[in-house]
Amino acid sequence: MSAHCMLTGRQPGFGKTISHSHRRSSRRFDPNVQRKRYWLASEGRHVRLTLSTKGIKTVDSIGIEAAAARIRARGVRV
């Protein structure tokens, strides 16, 4: 599963891990993405979305229909 949110567009950030001796090595900061299944009443089917936790809260507040419209506006297939 790729670490991208379909709604908010959040994706991994990159940085460095610094050890006790101050040596640096590369690392990834992945967003907390989860697969959620929603009922899309307008199409009469379920959709499975990969959302960050902030994206899940956004769907809860604006509704799945508006969220699906925003995802499609970003050019992502639902």
Q: How far apart are CA 4 and CA 75, in angstroms?
A: 14
What's the pTM value of the predicted model, to 2 decimals? 0.85
For 13-54, write each residue's pLDDT tens digit: 999 999 999 999 999 999 999 999 999 999 999 999 999 999
The predicted model gives 48-71 an average pLDDT of: 97
Query: How far apart (Å, rounded) are the C-alpha atoms in residues 31 and 26?
Result: 17
Contact 32, 78 (CB under 8 A): no
